[in-house]
Amino acid sequence: MSSLQALCSGLPLRPLPENRGRQAGVPHAPVRTPGLSLAEKQLALRNALRYFPADVQELLAPEFAQELQLYGHIYMYRFCPDIEMRAYPVEQYPCQTKAAAAIMHMIMNNLDPAVAQFPQELVTYGGNGQVFSNWAQFWLTMFYLSKMTEEQTLVMYSGHPLGLFPSSRSAPRLVITNGMVIPNYSSRMEYEKLFALGVTMYGQMTAGSYCYIGPQGIVHGTVLTVLNAARRYLGIEDLAGKVFVTSGLGGMSGAQAKAAVIVGCIGVIAEVDKAALEKRHKQGWLMEVTDSLDRCIQRLREARKRKEVLSLGYHGNVVALWERLVHELDTTGECLVDLGSDQTSCHNPFNGGYYPVQLSFTEAQSLMASNPAVFKDLVQESLRRQVSAINRLAKEKFFFWDYGNAFLLEAQRAGADVEKKGAGRTEFRYPSYVQHIMGDIFSQGFGPFRWVCTSGDPQDLAVTDELATSVLEEAIANGVKASVKLQYMDNIHWIREAARHRLVVGSQARILYSDQKGRVAIAVAINQAIACRRIKAPVVLSRDHHDVSGTDSPFRETSNIYDGSAFCADMAVQNFVGDACRGATWVALHNGGGVGWGEVINGGFGLVLDGTPEAEQRARLMLSWDVSNGVARRCWSGNQKAYEIICQTMQENSSLVVTLPHEVEDERVLQQALQL
């Protein structure tokens, strides 16, 4: 078993570690089919061997070539570390700076088998959300971090550690870019080749920025989404006896079962991968499982009648579940579902993100590798069938929304009936959850703010929970608008439920939705608690990239931007640059994430609080920009709530100067001008 000291000493070359290959008993990424020419295969091999001196290249070349042939990518399984991969307490890492040790803590959490979807392939979630492209990059990154000083910055090119470069103490210690492919070449076909060559990678959002905190983050987002969906679509606060049907129990989607229990409804979640389903059941996040549609419908009926709180995992294809619900409606007149969505990795539908109903899971994996064209046809037929079933149910009092996984976008490309007549390019027959449910929340500056206690001590997390709750309660006591109070109250309830439901998987982390004031106040309170040793070690602040200003995504985060700029990525890029120059410890910018390669640009950050006055100042500056950038953009797109927030912020902070937009009050001005 390796030690952390050995892990930070550079690539293990003399002797080379034993090549144990793929580990049995753990999930593995689907086989990729990049379709490389012989020349491209040679280039991929050459690129992989660059990490190794000439005296070991002859030994490594054949096994790397075999990996490329068998799996469509060179992961370098020989160099998968022989150590328990987890977020060790921060003081155990051999580093010269607290920031570097905190980054190591976050990287190893992303690759913890309890957290990561395909740990040996360095995939954290989403089917292809990479932390690194191969294991050589992991070893070199850990080596660089162990050597880093406060006057150096580590630069990461799509998983490749370019090196340590001189910089100032106020500069980020780490700058990450993933998938920054020239726009004309940012296609799925080109991606598969470029990833196989080892020159780019899909960092998803928090995978490639080392900020994933396990499924707790999406549990929280799903809790808020379902709560607000019930308010909007059903006009209720109490979801007892209401049924939410969806799919996916993987790295992100696995949160849906726990979220259903927290909001008090009946959640039925379909999953084709038995390993993923069993993982959530053993975790306690799924209360019951069945592979029988008859049993699934029977339990659903029983739970509705008794108003039970239930999370039920159906081991099977979600298309079959939707079609069975239609059958029940047509034969009994009873609509058994109230709310529905989908959280398959539909951004990656033809390489393991979505499985066709016509085949078993094993058959589908085989066909995916042997005949991608036929597999694609079956996937698109399944998408059409799924939409057809949803459309039938939607004629009743049933409400469906797109969960930002590119489901409706891919359904449209498959020829499914998702058109909304007279709509713009970002609108479909069913709304994105941003458009109808979360959009106004973002416009008010609320989004997924999170932190990690690097001591690894649950008691530190309990202290931060107490501090965050106190901050929000104090804000309410001092008086806030009703809409803001509702969000604060939801999140106070969440914090209390999160502790009770034991949502920590991996690092000692917490998430809540907060606005700019709340984020800054919580950060200051935590930093002060570190200074007085009430919290024993530094705390890393971060957020999901899926936030107020982190992501430009026309079919998700910015799908409610109607001024024509939904397809522009200025906000995410400015977020990345602005956070870097206002004190972030590290920053990340990605192509792809959530809705797919070439469909989105997103930025993220990490900020280490160490109890110093400098850390507090960084938090005040950076967190303010991280929120106000997105609120201001939404203000200029015509959002009234964002307009009000910016006006209020300008009154409170004289350093903020924004020219506010003027609306065209008389439509005749436009009509008469165009008649010319």
Band (127; pLDDT cuts 50, 70, 90): confident
Cβ atoms 385, 326 nearer than 8 A: no
Amino acid present at 186: S
Determine the Cα–Cα distance for residues 313 and 195; give it in Å rounded to an integer. Answer: 34
Cβ atoms 159, 133 nearer than 8 A: yes
pLDDT of residue 592: 87
| C-alpha 385, offset from chain centre | 27
**Per-residue three-class SS string for 383-443:** HHHHHHHHHHHCCCCCEECECCCCHHHHHHHCCCCCCCCCCCCCCCCCCEHHHHHHHHHHH
Task: List the helix and strand counts (H, then E) for the chain.
Answer: 23, 17
Tell me the H-state helices in 501-558. Answer: 516-531
Cβ atoms 242, 482 nearer than 8 A: no
pLDDT of residue 406: 83
- To the nearest 10 degrees (0 to 180), the angle between helices 516-531 and 458-477 is 130
Model pLDDT for residues 413-461, shown as the tens digit of each residue: 999 999 988 777 778 899 887 777 777 888 899 999 999 999 999 999 9
Ranking 48-62, 323-337, 628-642 by mean pLDDT, the lowest is 628-642
Average the pLDDT over 496-507 and give the result.
Answer: 86
Model pLDDT for residues 448-459, shown as the tens digit of each residue: 999 999 999 999
Question: Minimal CA–CA distance to 215: which of 544, 443, 550, 615?
Answer: 544
| Architecture of the domain delimited by 4-197 | 3-Layer(aba) Sandwich (3.40)
Determine the Cα–Cα distance for residues 476 and 667; give it in Å rounded to an integer. Answer: 40
Q: Where are the domains of the chain?
A: 4-197, 215-418, 439-506+508-652
Determine the Cα–Cα distance for residues 509 and 541; give it in Å rounded to an integer. Answer: 10
Ranking 27-31, 87-91, 289-293, 324-328 by mean pLDDT, the lowest is 27-31
Distances (CA, A) of 582 to 175, 544, 624, 655: 14, 19, 10, 14
pLDDT of residue 29: 93
**Beta pairing class for 539-543 and 447-453:** antiparallel
Band (585; pLDDT cuts 50, 70, 90): very high
Question: Which residue in this structure is represented by tokens 């069993």?
Answer: 278
Sheet holding 243-247, edge to edge: 288-290, 310-315, 266-271, 243-247, 339-340, 399-400
CA–CA–CA angle 501, 507, 512 (5° rounding): 55
Bridge partners, 542 (sequence order) = 450
- Does residue 407 register a pLDDT over 80? yes
Classify domain 439-506+508-652 at the CATH topology level.
Urocanase fold (3.40.1770)
Determine the Cα–Cα distance for residues 586 and 157; give it in Å rounded to an integer. Answer: 14
Determine the Cα–Cα distance for residues 383 and 368; give it in Å rounded to an integer. Answer: 16
Determine the Cα–Cα distance for residues 86 and 491; give it in Å rounded to an integer. Answer: 28
Two domains, one topology: 215-418 and 439-506+508-652: no
C-alpha R_g of the chain? 24
Average the pLDDT over 520-549 and give the result.
Answer: 96
pLDDT of residue 664: 86
pLDDT of residue 252: 66
Determine the Cα–Cα distance for residues 316 and 274; give it in Å rounded to an integer. Answer: 9
Sign of dihedral through CA atoms 289, 293, 297, 302?
negative
Question: Which residue in this structure is represented by tokens 């006896």?
Answer: 241
State in Å, rounded, how far the first CA of the chain is from the last one: 78
Band (569; pLDDT cuts 50, 70, 90): very high
Average the pLDDT over 106-115 and give the result.
Answer: 95
pLDDT of residue 641: 87
Cβ atoms 607, 540 nearer than 8 A: yes
The percent of residues above 90 in pLDDT, for the chain, comes to: 73
The H or E element containing residue 177 is strand 174-178
Average the pLDDT over 634-661 and give the result.
Answer: 89
pLDDT of residue 142: 98
Chain mean pLDDT for the chain: 93
pLDDT of residue 498: 83
pLDDT of residue 637: 87
Q: Dihedrals φ, ψ of 157, to 5°?
A: -105, 100
Bridge partners, 98 (sequence order) = none
Determine the Cα–Cα distance for residues 503 and 7; give it in Å rounded to an integer. Answer: 29
**Beta pairing class for 266-271 and 243-247:** parallel
Q: What is the DSSP string of 96-127?
A: SSHHHHHHHHHHHHHT-TTT-SBGGGTEEETT
Average the pLDDT over 164-192 and give the result.
Answer: 95
Tell me the H-state helices in 252-406. Answer: 255-263, 274-283, 293-306, 318-332, 361-370, 372-393
Cβ atoms 584, 607 nearer than 8 A: yes
410 CB contacts (<8 Å, ≥6 apart)? 346, 349, 354, 383
Average the pLDDT over 136-165 and give the result.
Answer: 98
- Does residue 1 register a pLDDT over 60? no
Amino acid present at 99: A
Q: Dihedrals φ, ψ of 609, to 5°?
A: -95, 125
pLDDT of residue 417: 94
Determine the Cα–Cα distance for residues 583 and 626; give it in Å rounded to an integer. Answer: 11
- Does residue 209 register a pLDDT over 60? yes
pLDDT of residue 675: 86
Model pLDDT for residues 346-363, shown as the tens digit of each residue: 888 998 889 999 999 999
Band (251; pLDDT cuts 50, 70, 90): low
Model pLDDT for residues 472-487, shown as the tens digit of each residue: 999 999 999 898 998 8
- Superfamily of structural domain 215-418: Urocanase like domains (3.40.50.10730)
Bridge partners, 500 (sequence order) = none
pLDDT of residue 221: 84
pLDDT of residue 676: 67
Determine the Cα–Cα distance for residues 222 and 333; give it in Å rounded to an integer. Answer: 30
Band (173; pLDDT cuts 50, 70, 90): very high
